[in-house]
Structure 1
Amino acid sequence: MFFGLKTLLVILVSLVVLSFLFGVLLTNAEGGNLFVNFFEVLLYILTNKAASIGNAGTLQGDLIRGLISIASLLFTGFVIAWITSIFFDRILRRFSGMEIPQLSNHTLICGWNETGNLIVFNMIEESPDSPIVVVCERNSRPINRENVYWINGDFTKPEVLRKAHAHRCESAIVLSDLESVGNNDKIADWQTILAVLAIENINSKIHTAAELINNSNRVHLEHAGVDEIIIRGEFSGNILSRVSQNRGLSKVISTMLNVGDGAELYKIKCPENYKKSSYGEIHNKLYKEKFTSLIGYETKDGQIFLSPSGNVILDEADHLYVLSDEKPLL
């Protein structure tokens, strides 16, 4: 910053001292009350109206008023430069990933790779007003989108995560950032694990999803309390094995997952009044009233049941999985 707070304090003190000295000189030259002249000088330096100070008529007084006008112009220049420096410093800090505005209930994305753009695109399509903060070490912004902010730094360090307001975010996604670790799979996974531990330590209530390269490291994330674990390549491998036996299945899966492309997959809280009914009854009710297809449910302990028998009572259901054009309100 061009002028810090200490510099501003020095300027203000100098202004008071200078006003007092001019007040003394003006009193000696034209008479009057010293304190009245002091406050008039101080006021007119701030407003640049020095010509109306005191009783005009003496050469010495006019000379002093000229000096007061110069002091007023200098003070105005200092103030403008100070305000401008703050403005441009803030822009520079945000552009370079050093600072972001105060945020809450936002999504935190730690690390960056080729899937980052797609993740941000889908999140903006689904919730355009929800801010996103990307934390990664890069020479320039990894993505330029409205309501998407960037912190340039090591996302495993708590002080960097606090800059991204991790203590106030709603959810966090940790990507395998191979570029930042020289394409080393093992280091990338340990970086993910350290980031998750740091995030959970700052905000234990946050919903976290993490990407791993090696499945053998899954146990570490499970112990850390990660809500969602994605093994890189495993998901695509499973899809490829299925579509080889079921042609066209990839289009169905893509339609369910892509935002704004037909019916989408949603996880919604199971209403209490649904828990007394059977799966078949709720399936028919949702389709008839909401044009929504029920495909399964999840219990409180995390067990997932897809397309169970229609006679199953939903007394243990905690969440429902549905297909719908938009997220249904139950």
Structure 2
Amino acid sequence: MTRIRQAIAFGRPIGRRSRKKRSLKARLLKALTSWNRHQVSRIVGMTLLIWVLGAVGLLAVEGKTNPDFASFPEALWSVWILLFSGPDEPPGTWAGRLIVMLLQGVGVGLVGLFTASVASILIERYLRRREVDSTAMDNHIVLCNWATRGSELIRQVHSRIVTDWRPIVIIHDQPDEIELPDKADETAFTDVYIVKGDPTSEVALRRAGVARAYSVVVLVDSREGKHADGKTILTCVSIRNICKGDDQPNVVAECLNPGNRIHLRKAGADEVVSAHDIGLRLLARASLFHGMIRVYQELLTVRKDNNELYVVPVPEALVGKGFEELSVLFARTARGDPRGCVLIGVQREEEMMINPIGEEAGPTRADDLLVVLSRKHPKLEDLFPA
């Protein structure tokens, strides 16, 4: 899952200022949530207390003369009926009548509180709905299919240290299955929306604005069992049928069977991640070189003051230079400039060269990509102006 998050690049920031100011809807939702967390238990506790006290009181003043309150069980039954429907016959004593009057008033109040609580729960559920018919946004992230691990993906993409905030649109055919934390409790789940539909359907993809998206992440639909990769392939094909031209979203697909990587690439996935395959590789590395799991976790976790790996274009000023010369230049910037970064490797088309030796990589080309380690998304044009 963290590898999928790592594959999503970040662009220009949007909507950061709006997050700082809570809307009236958010404040109302928080108030209703606080009410509902405690009100039901209060109503139940108050009802039990009034029920028992009323039974004891009427047993004491009416027990000798009124058969409805002759014993404690009879008194409990009679008080329960009295609270919500009223007595069939008035008590014989003035003390009993006073108690009945109080119980009747309390019963009306409890019914009102219960009705108000049910209404507020319904309103809260309505305000919590994130389902939308369609989206008009752009440069957002589309998440196809849903699984509980999707919540962690959202937390990573919407981490507080990420300066380039992008809305997330989830496409799922069962929106009620998606349980997200409250936006007031976790700000990472702000700007998260749900479009109901099957992600293999072009209609649902268009409603989610896939053609205008920055990235599309296709999760494995575990409900499909061993045929889950087939649905992922169909989803990628549908996405590519919609997205035409040069400005297309980056499609990151999760696969269940590593053997289906080539089929997913042919279907239009730019990057394919197999959590099972990566997990086995990490286990193998950890068995040979102790402590490596911690290293990978640090690299793949978005956290303050954490270094991360980025793949960025080669600036014009560095085109034609060899990897050894570039490594020296990057090392100099990393010493005194907080924007500095460490050069790790070079990606040339489909070939990834990590720490190439000698002239293995050759001179850098204009269409190459550099793999760097940095605290923030590096802007190499500022570090190495033309």
After TM superposition, the score normalised by the length of structure 2 is 0.57
Q: How far has the Cα of 1:99 moved from its partner?
A: 2.1
**1: CA distance, partners of 2:234 / 2:127:** 26
Question: Contact (CA 8 Å) 1:135, 1:151: kept in 2 or not?
Answer: yes
Unaligned residue ranges in structure 2 (runs of 5+): 1-124, 182-188, 335-339, 381-386
Q: Which of residues 118, 129, 147 in structure 1 aligns to 2:165? A: 129
Q: How far has the Cα of 1:190 moved from its partner?
A: 1.0
Aligned partner of 1:168: which letter? R
The answer for the alignment partner of 1:141 in structure 2 is 178
The answer for the alignment partner of 2:289 in structure 1 is 246
The answer for the alignment partner of 2:352 in structure 1 is 304
Question: Contact (CA 8 Å) 1:94, 1:150: kept in 2 or not?
Answer: no
**2: CA distance, partners of 1:213 / 1:220:** 12
Identify which of structures 1 and 2 has the higher relative contact order when contacts are C-alpha pairs closer than 8 Å and 6+ apart: 2
Partner of 2:251, secondary structure, is strand
With over 3 angstroms needed to count, the CA separation of the structure-2 counterparts of 1:194 and 1:173, relative to structure 1, is same
Partner of 1:195, secondary structure, is helix
Question: Contact (CA 8 Å) 1:297, 1:318: kept in 2 or not?
Answer: yes
Instruction: Please report the RMSD computed on the Cα atoms of aligned residues, expressed in angstroms.
Output: 2.4
Q: Are positions 1:236 and 2:245 aligned together?
A: no
**1: CA distance, partners of 2:249 / 2:164:** 20
With over 3 angstroms needed to count, the CA separation of the structure-2 counterparts of 1:210 and 1:185, relative to structure 1, is same
With over 3 angstroms needed to count, the CA separation of the structure-2 counterparts of 1:296 and 1:96, relative to structure 1, is closer
Matches within 5 A, 1:275-290: 275-290=319-334
234-243 or 91-100, which deviates more: 91-100
The answer for the alignment partner of 2:57 in structure 1 is none
Q: Are positions 1:325 and 2:369 aligned together?
A: no
Partner of 1:267, secondary structure, is strand
Question: Contact (CA 8 Å) 2:130, 2:192: kept in 1 or not?
Answer: no
Identity %: 28
Aligned partner of 2:317: which letter? N
Q: How far has the Cα of 1:97 moved from its partner?
A: 2.1
Q: How many residues align?
A: 237
Partner of 2:368, secondary structure, is strand
The answer for the alignment partner of 1:199 in structure 2 is 239
Aligned partner of 2:226: which letter? D
Partner of 1:121, secondary structure, is helix
Q: Which of residues 247, 250, 260 in structure 1 aligns to 2:303? A: 260
Partner of 2:356, secondary structure, is coil
Aligned partner of 2:221: which letter? D
* CA-to-aligned-CA distance 1:137-185 (integer Å, 9 cap, x gap): 2324343410111112211111111111112111100000113x3xx12
Matches within 5 A, 1:111-190: 111-125=145-159, 126-127=162-163, 129-138=165-174, 139-144=176-181, 145-179=189-223, 181=224, 184-186=225-227, 188-190=228-230
Question: Contact (CA 8 Å) 2:142, 2:217: kept in 1 or not?
Answer: yes
Unaligned residue ranges in structure 1 (runs of 5+): 1-90
